[in-house]
Amino acid sequence: MFVFPGDFLGYAEEYVPGEGVYEEEGKLYAATAGEVVVEDKVIKVRTVKEIPEVGKNDIVVGRVVDTRNSFAMVEIVRKKGSERALRHYDRALLHVSNISEGYMKNLENGVRYWDIIRARVIDNNLRLSIKEEDMGVIRAICRVCGTPLVREKDKLKCPECGNVERRKISSYYGSGEW
């Protein structure tokens, strides 16, 4: 059944309100337009256009906006599979231990300030991991001159000044995709 915001769906005693449903004075109404789905007493509305929310196991893209000794803060911009700004925005945490499979002592060997990374969310508190092969830095700039770095095997090289930097490079590096 297709419903519109405000359509009466049933009474609070009948169902548990799920996504896209709200309760008022014991009655359940649709909050968004879409198809009604009932599963195990939970009633939801599958919306026409979803507002993305990041949760565990989602793939996200973001920029490193702050680095500390053992962790980096990442501003997430998009979730994979969605073109739209996120429902909630916050800085995500990327700890050194989640950068590579091996031991990494210095965070700066993995990510640096202003890098754009592709990462996986590993819990619901916005903690990230880039251990996987296709996760990691997808764009970085030279810390000497600011030029975008070019991948050269497992290193990144600056085409302007020849500076070579180390990163946890994603297999998507430089492809423009993620």
Partner 1 sequence: MASEDVKRLKGEIKLIVDGKRLDGRAFDELRPIKIEAGVLKRADGSCYLEMGKNKVVAAVYGPREVHPRHLQDPIKAVVRYRYNMAPFSVEERKRPGPDRRSIEISKVSREALEAVIMKELFPRCGIDVFVEVLQADAGSRTACLNAASVALVDAGVPMRGMISSVAVAKVEGHLVLDPTKEEDFYGEADIPFAFFIRNDKIESIALLQMDGRVTKSELMEALQMAKKGALEIYRMQKEAIKSRYIIEEADENE
- Positions in the binding site for partner 1 (CB under 8 A): 2, 4-8, 20, 22, 24, 29, 31-34, 47-51, 84-85, 87-89
For partner 1, the closer of residues 25 and 154 by Cβ is: 25
For partner 1, the closer of residues 82 and 100 by Cβ is: 82
Q: Rounded to the nearest whole angstrom, what is the least distance from the CB of residue 58 to partner 1 in the complex? A: 18
For partner 1, the closer of residues 49 and 153 by Cβ is: 49
Determine if residue 145 is labeled as part of a ligand binding site. yes
DSSP string, the chain: -EE-TT-EEEETTT-EE-TTEEEETTEEEESSSEEEEEETTEEEEEESS------TT-EEEEEEEEE-SSEEEEEEEEETT--S--SS--EEEEEGGGT-SS--S-GGGT--TT-EEEEEE-STT-EEE--STT-EEEE-B-TTT-PBPEEETTEEE-TTT--EE---B-TTTTSS--
Q: Rounded to the nearest whole angstrom, what is the least distance from the CB of residue 132 to partner 1 in the complex? A: 28
Determine if residue 142 is labeled as part of a ligand binding site. yes
Q: Rounded to the nearest whole angstrom, what is the least distance from the CB of residue 48 to partner 1 in the complex? A: 5
Determine if residue 26 is labeled as part of a ligand binding site. no
For partner 1, the closer of residues 52 and 136 by Cβ is: 52
10 Å CB burial of residue 98 (0-12, 13-18, 19+) is: buried
Determine if residue 161 is labeled as part of a ligand binding site. yes
Q: Which of 106, 100, 90, 101 is CA-nearest to residue 136?
A: 100
Q: Rounded to the nearest whole angstrom, what is the least distance from the CB of residue 4 to partner 1 in the complex? A: 5
Q: Rounded to the nearest whole angstrom, what is the least distance from the CB of residue 113 to partner 1 in the complex? A: 20
Q: Which residues are annotated as a binding site for Zn(2+)?
A: 142, 145, 158, 161
Q: Which residues are annotated as a binding site?
A: 142, 145, 158, 161
